[in-house]
């Protein structure tokens, strides 16, 4: 059975004495005659001991059910990063699909490509937010909030990212935080920003940060070096409110580089023509040679033409070049692969949402495939896996297995040494229960702080936890084994608490932990000698 977690909550009850001393009297309807309502007539004075005035028919609506605690949303992700467009709205904006995202914030960032020693190289690091949001929705995310830190032309800056992060703080619908563009900052600035994410999550206690590991892209550092650098920079605050994933991965869907993205199209045409002149091919060499010259002949003005006819012409030329030029195909493939490299936080936030919606927040988002991920940028061995998950802060690797493909192979928060908060599903379930009860008991803030209110609140919390137990969120053969709720004078409150208008609810729950290690015992009966 899982260990019971103490979820004691305190709720201030303001103006209780005033409310109890002068309760508002319900005014009856104004009646002109039997069964006739007159809105202009003065309200009659009820007879002593009666709630009615003159004879007539009165309707008194009673609540059939008491207030109930409702499970809060656990899947809305707050994203911070750079966008093609910035809406006029100063705060964060919610979107429910990638089409809606592109309508407000624009499409993917594709920087210009230069050829250096025959290798395509981007003139600047591409912004990562747009593709990460696409991966979020592809993996099961249903809504997110976007806080733009600037346009694609702006150089990534720590202060701009922090300003955008602050705009997410008042948004109480957010349950997850992700900032893939933090990987475009310097290593020290990236660590500072991720510390700010954890501090916000720990202060608000209603959200969980999904972090990336700077340098785990397969080229900047090897995975162990990137993990060590992350651990040195992340600090000690709010570790239970975040989890980190590595390495980066290739997400090719929606990634397209064409000749129009090359900074020097004349240079590109010269290389393609040189290739063709060495070994002409096709039945009409002159026509092919003319086609290979086309990229150089297209100026920036023609590329800026967004009419359907111009776009169709460019698509046709790109397709023709792919077919006739092996060199062009190779350059486009290399550039597109580089552009498709993403940190995993956006896709993981979508996987969190999918797991929550399909199985519940109490299910660990692990041993699941990441939709759209072709392969991780670096292969992680079993020995490296042990290095990542056993030391604090813990890191969750994404590994490739034969016949299974890439799988998320870790379910730990950064706080691996905190036994009650080691696992992502345990911590996020705690957050969900605390926030759900918090909003549920808020309806009783101005109720009398007496036994009747306590009994009502206890019943509400009992019913909520019982529904979670039935869904499998809590472990135990009976509700009594799965949870316990206490409230009242002498159990959770003193007389001083009551007189100060403080109501204290104590809830203990048994949460299930992931089975990270499965043990097998084999017995074999040997032939008697």
pLDDT at 9: 40
Residue 378 to residue 400: CA distance in whole angstroms:
10
Report the 10 Å Cβ neighbour count for 510. 18
Cα 483 to Cα 1, 73, 512, 516: the distances in Å are: 11, 22, 12, 24
C-beta separation of 338 from 113 below 8 A = no
Q: Would the pTM of this model clear 0.85, i.e. be above it? A: no
Which residues are 116's β-sheet partners?
A: 119
Report the 10 Å Cβ neighbour count for 192. 17
Tokens 């936890």 locate to 465
242 half-sphere exposure, CB direction, 13 A CA radius: 32
| For the chain, domain boundaries | 4-16+444-510, 77-254+340-416, 259-339
Nearest to 71 by CA among 433, 423, 438: 433
Q: Residue 444 phi/psi, 5° resolution?
A: -105, 15
pLDDT at 31: 39
Number of residues written out for the chain? 529
- Angle (CA) 224 183 232, round 5°: 45
pLDDT at 422: 92
pLDDT at 26 over 50: no
Tell me the pLDDT tens digit for each residue of 438-448.
999 988 888 99
Omega within 30 of 0 (cis) for the link into 137: no
Where residue 106 falls (left for φ over 0; alpha for ψ -120 to 50; beta otherwise) is left
C-beta separation of 350 from 142 below 8 A = no
pLDDT at 296: 66
Residue 407 to residue 405: CA distance in whole angstroms:
6
Tell me the pLDDT tens digit for each residue of 272-305.
888 777 766 555 566 666 767 777 666 666 667 6
Residue 168 to residue 493: CA distance in whole angstroms:
35
Between 63 and 495, the more confident residue is 495
Residue 253 to residue 437: CA distance in whole angstroms:
41
pLDDT at 349: 98
The burial class, CB within 10 Å (0-12 / 13-18 / 19+), for 193 is buried
C-beta separation of 132 from 345 below 8 A = yes
- At 433, the pLDDT band (50, 70, 90 cuts) reads very high
Report the sign of the C-alpha dihedral through residues 27, 33, 34, 35, in that order.
negative
C-beta separation of 360 from 471 below 8 A = yes
Long-range contacts from 390-395, C-beta under 8 angstroms, 24+ separation: 390/416, 391/231, 391/416, 392/231, 392/239, 392/416, 392/417, 393/230, 393/231, 393/234, 393/239, 393/244, 394/243, 394/244, 394/422, 395/213, 395/227, 395/230, 395/244, 395/245, 395/246
C-beta separation of 183 from 200 below 8 A = no
Tell me the pLDDT tens digit for each residue of 63-115.
555 677 889 999 999 999 999 998 877 789 999 999 999 999 999 999 999 99
Residue 114 to residue 137: CA distance in whole angstroms:
32
- At 51, the pLDDT band (50, 70, 90 cuts) reads low
The two beta strands, 242-246 and 396-401, are parallel
Nearest to 213 by CA among 195, 192, 235, 231: 231
C-beta separation of 123 from 112 below 8 A = yes
Tell me the pLDDT tens digit for each residue of 393-420.
999 999 999 888 999 999 999 998 888 8
Residue 167 token pair: 């705009």
pLDDT at 526: 56
Tell me the pLDDT tens digit for each residue of 203-222.
999 999 999 999 999 888 88
Residue 291 to residue 191: CA distance in whole angstroms:
49
At the top level of CATH, the class of 77-254+340-416 is alpha beta
Nearest to 274 by CA among 258, 293, 299, 257: 293
Count of helix runs (H) and strand runs (E) in the chain: 17, 19
pLDDT at 138 over 70: yes
């Amino acid at each position: 059975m899982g260990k019971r977690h103490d979820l004691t909550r305190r709720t201030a009850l303001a103006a209780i004495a005033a409310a109890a001393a002068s309760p508002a009297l319900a005014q009856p309807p104004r009646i002109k005659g039997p069964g006739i309502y007159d809105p202009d007539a003065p309200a009659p004075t009820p007879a002593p001991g009666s709630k009615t005035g003159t004879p007539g028919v009165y309707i008194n609506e009673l609540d059939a059910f008491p207030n109930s605690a409702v499970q809060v949303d656990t899947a809305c992700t707050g994203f911070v990063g750079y966008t093609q467009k910035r809406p006029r709205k100063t705060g964060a904006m919610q979107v429910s699909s990638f089409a809606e995202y592109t309508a407000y914030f624009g499409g993917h960032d594709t920087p210009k490509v230069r050829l250096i020693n025959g290798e395509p190289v981007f003139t600047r690091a591409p912004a990562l937010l747009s593709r990460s949001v696409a991966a979020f929705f592809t993996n099961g995310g249903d809504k997110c909030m976007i806080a733009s830190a600037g346009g694609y032309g702006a150089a990534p800056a720590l202060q701009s990212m922090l300003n955008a992060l602050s705009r997410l703080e008042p948004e109480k619908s957010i349950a997850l935080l992700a900032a893939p563009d933090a990987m475009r900052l310097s290593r020290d600035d990236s660590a500072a920003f991720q510390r700010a994410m954890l501090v916000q999550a720990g202060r608000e206690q209603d959200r969980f940060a999904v972090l990336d590991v700077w340098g785990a892209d397969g080229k900047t550092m090897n995975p162990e070096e990137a993990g060590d650098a992350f651990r040195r920079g992340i600090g000690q605050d709010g570790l239970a409110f975040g989890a980190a994933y590595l390495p980066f991965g290739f997400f090719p869907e929606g990634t397209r580089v064409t000749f129009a993205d090359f900074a020097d199209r004349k240079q590109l045409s010269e290389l393609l023509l040189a290739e063709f002149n060495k070994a002409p091919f096709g039945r009409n060499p002159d026509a092919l040679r003319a086609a290979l010259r086309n990229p150089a002949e297209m100026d920036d003005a023609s590329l800026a033409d967004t009419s359907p006819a111009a776009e169709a012409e460019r698509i046709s030329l790109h397709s023709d070049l792919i077919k006739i030029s092996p060199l062009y195909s190779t350059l486009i493939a290399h550039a597109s692969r580089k552009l498709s490299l993403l940190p995993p936080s956006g896709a993981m936030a979508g996987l969190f949402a999918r797991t929550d919606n399909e199985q519940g927040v109490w299910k660990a988002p692990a041993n699941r495939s990441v939709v759209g991920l072709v392969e991780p940028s670096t292969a992680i061995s079993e020995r490296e896996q042990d290095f990542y998950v056993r030391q604090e802060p813990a890191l969750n690797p994404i590994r490739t297995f034969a016949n299974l493909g890439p799988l998320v192979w870790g379910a730990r928060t950064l706080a691996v040494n905190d036994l009650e908060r080691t696992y992502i599903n345990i911590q996020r379930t705690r957050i969900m229960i605390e926030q759900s009860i918090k909003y549920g008991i808020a309806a009783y803030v101005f109720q009398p702080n007496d036994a009747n209110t306590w009994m009502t609140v206890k019943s509400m919390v009992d019913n909520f936890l019982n529904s979670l137990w039935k869904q499998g969120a809590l472990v135990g053969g009976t509700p009594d084994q799965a949870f316990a709720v206490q409230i009242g004078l002498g159990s959770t409150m003193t007389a001083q608490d009551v007189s100060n208008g403080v109501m204290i609810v104590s809830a203990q729950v048994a949460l299930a932990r992931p089975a990270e290690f499965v043990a097998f015992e084999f017995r074999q009966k040997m032939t008697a000698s």
